[in-house]
Amino acid sequence: MIYKAVEDKIIMTEQESFNIEQILECGQCFRFEKLGEMYYKIVACKKELFIRQTADRVEFFPCDKYDFENIWIEYFDLNRDYQKIKNTLSKRDSVLAEAIKYGSGIRLLNQEPWECLLSFIISQNNNIPRIKGIIRAMADTYGENGAFPTLEEIEKATVDELFELRMGFRAKYIYDAIQKVKSGKVDLEALFEINAEEAREKLMLIKGVGPKVADCVLLFSLKKKEVFPTDVWVKRVMSYFYFNNEETDINAIHKYASKNWGEYAGFAQQYLFYYARSLKIGTK
DNA sequence: GCCCAGGCACTCA
DNA sequence: TGAGTGCCTGGG
């Protein structure tokens, strides 16, 4: 990867495995807006960032070298060798090879745990346009300049006030997440230091955080790349391709993923999820 | 109008 | 402990 600063932009070239559309639309994040073909705006890490990709380059703006090196390289996981991951996984089975071919520009973002946690609590039993709308409403109401609210900015919110943002029954879950983090019962930063299993248990102390939401937070923000968040889509695609289209319980799926994909299970999940959704596997 | 959407908590055997 | 059921809301 090569990058240079030009005016208010960072121009990145010779970057393998980077497709901005696939990265943002593969279901791992919610604060993005499509402005045109391969042209997006995201809000993350308290910044608004535009990203435009053409055949030979990716432009990030407004962005200087400092922010690129200190925020976005990490956020977009640019130091990781995806070619190696894709080669390894593709050799394991042909289904995954096909999924990887389809979503070859996917990367796993390293999001902020706090935002990731609240966002995936909102996501349960919900659809994407609504999820995005509720998160935006939280940001507009409590955050600074449309950025996702910090704990300090949102900690005084009552359940009733949260409910007014149209998040429904999830308002009490968001409230509980705020209280547990505020009190230190759940120390998000400390979760980086412990293993996935222990971190999952901690996250599930929060009301409204079950196995699926916890695994999303672990994978998308706490760098536990071996976890395999299993939602309805992943369940469908796993059942369809690996379990002879039979009703499959979550434990069997986790076991299969762990055994076959090990430390790369999280990446496999993302390729399969994107593949399944695009093909609408399992839906009528 | 009904149904469902990237789960979860709660209840009851 | 495991299966069944209800949940806010708004878009199709």
Q: Give the model confidence (pLDDT) of A183-216 as tens digits.
A: 999 999 999 999 999 999 999 999 999 999 999 9
Burial code of A52-90, b = ≥16 C-beta within 10 A, e = fewer? Answer: bbeeeebbbeebeeebbeebbbebbbbeeebeebbebbb
d(CA A84, CA A202): 32
The residue whose CA lies nearest the C1' of nucleotide B8 is: A208
Chain position carrying tokens 């762990």: A258
Residue A238 has what pLDDT?
94
Give me the CA A233–C1' C11 separation in Å, rounded.
20
Residue A104 has what pLDDT?
97
Q: Which nucleotides of C are covered by protein (CB under 7 A)?
A: 7-11
Is A27's CB less than 7 Å from nucleic acid strand B?
yes
Residue A284 has what pLDDT?
44
Average pLDDT, chain A: 96
Coil, helix or strand at residue A131: helix
Residue A277 has what pLDDT?
87
Chain position carrying tokens 């289904």: A95
Q: Is the pLDDT of residue A219 over 70?
A: yes
Give me the CA A170–C1' B10 separation in Å, rounded.
15
Chain position carrying tokens 């389809």: A102
For residue range A65-117, what is the model confidence (pLDDT) as tens digits? 999 999 999 999 999 999 999 999 999 999 999 999 999 999 999 999 999 99
Determine if the pTM surpasses 0.95. yes
- How is the beta sheet containing A57-61 ordered, strand by strand? A2-6, A9-13, A57-61, A47-54, A39-44, A32-36
Nearest nucleotide to A213 (CA to C1') is B7
Indicate the Cα dihedral angle A269, A32, A83, A191, nearest 10°: -60
Give me the CA A214–C1' B12 separation in Å, rounded.
27
Name, in order, each residue with C-beta under 8 angstroms of A213's C-beta and a sequence gap of 6 or more: A117, A120, A121, A123, A124, A203
Interval A143-155 mean pLDDT: 97
